[in-house]
Amino acid sequence: MKVSTRSVSLVLLGAVIGGSLTLTQHVMGARSANELPLEQMRTFTDVFTRIKNDYVEEVSDDELLEHAIRGMLQGLDPHSAYLNTEEFNELRIGTTGEFGGLGIEVGMEDGFVKVVSPIDDTPAAKAGVLAGDLIIRLDDTPVKGLSLNDAVKLMRGKPGSELTLTIIREGADKPLSIDIERAVIKTTSVRHRMLDEDFGYLRISNFQTKTTADLLKAVKKMNKENDGLKGLVLDLRNNPGGVLSGAVGVSDAFLNDGMIVYTDGRENDSKLRYDATDGDILDGAPLIVMVNGGSASASEIVAGAMQDHGRAIVLGSKTFGKGSVQTIQDLPAGGAVKLTTSRYFTPKGRSIQALGIEPDISTKPGSWTRPDDEDGYTPLTESSLRGALSNTTVDEDEATEEEAEAAKEDNLVYDDYQLFEALNLLKGLAILNKKSS
């Protein structure tokens, strides 16, 4: 049975707008904030009816209206979305910290899936997926035209199954093909180790509800085992963000007072302010925060707070620039709306959105290479000369220990040059602190 354009228009307009009085007011005078535009609604119902009557295949009302809702939200920004009941349940599963997939945080850009950040120790990270990569094909399925939710569905799957990503990478001459085996993704938020005597390293891969507690435990352990820390490197590179409370708690751990972050939106409940409480867990010891293009959202909140308060030196490259807040709102009929409701601002009023955090010291990723890496050349030193005198002021055990420490530092140069630079800077700050105290 065909449905007339007039009947559909009247039903939809009457149901949504709420009666002839509202329509009359709209036509006669200025439209209030809660009224809908009559002409655009007529266009919508006209298109709706044309699809119902003339499209090559029959499409249900529910399907058409869901497409319309999705398009309405996707047109706002890359982070707002409609979640049907199944997708809402998947989101809940994803936030538990364990699911089957590749291990990447993604968004949409120009119709393609953009990698915000690979998650530490996941198949994607091990396969070489990088922040900023644009995914254009999933196996044989082009990404163009897919919603972000549909693309995520294709990337998730049974652990052990394989997926081929075709990606475009800045600087690459042609698209790259990367084969990845799906696995159960278990995200560990906080890792720590010692870089050198009295200098600690703490890595946060994403912000969860337990992140602050895990950070406090890690720093307490390093303090106890080393009789106090002279400095700490906080690594937020490729950290895509997470829960706001985690970012606020981590920032608070290194501050004694002052604002951490505030949010501002149209509604009063989106205008929030978060302040630090007394108690710096490092007791003023130097702090280096490492960031890069994969550091987003909650990571940028921490970096911005540390930078504005002068509590840490931010080292690395410009961050991602996701300074918006999404609220998940349940719908009465099931499912939910993920809606951008406010923006983040640093203590000094800087908006993170689309600008990111500029580091205090810019460093390029990667490490340097020396001649002996390629040509088998070993640099000439005094100790390599035949018959060179030994150093009688240092015994062999001390010399061996020094060589071991030098070897560890040398490995750090090759493995992570940015971290090597951060450690050197941290040592310099510790020396200055000692002289000024």
Residue 187 · residue 208 · CB < 8 Å: yes
Catalytic residue (one of 297, 299, 324, 342): 297
Q: Mark residue 107 as left, alpha or beta (left: phi above 0; alpha: psi -120 to 50; beta: remaining).
A: beta
Q: Return d(Cα 141, Cα 157) in angstroms, integer.
A: 15
Q: Mark residue 50 as left, alpha or beta (left: phi above 0; alpha: psi -120 to 50; beta: remaining).
A: alpha
Residue 61 · residue 67 · CB < 8 Å: no
Catalytic residue (one of 322, 324, 342, 416): 322
Residue 145: how many other CB atoms lie within 10 Å: 8
Q: Return d(Cα 404, Cα 408) in angstroms, integer.
A: 6
- Residue 30 is classified by DSSP as P
**Residue 348, C-beta contacts closer than 8 angstroms, at least 6 positions apart:** 308
The tokens describing 240, both together, are 């895509």
Active site residue 364: no
What's the maximum distance between 2 C-alpha atoms anywhere in the chain?
104
Q: How far apart are the first and last CA of the chain?
A: 86
For residue 434, the one-letter residue type is K
Active site residue 133: no
Residue 246 · residue 216 · CB < 8 Å: no
DSSP letters, 238-260, are T---B-HHHHHHHHHHT-SSSEE
**Distances in whole angstroms, Cα of residue 71 to Cα of each of 68, 149, 160, 325:** 5, 13, 34, 20
Active site residue 308: yes
Q: Which residues are catalytic?
A: 297, 308, 322
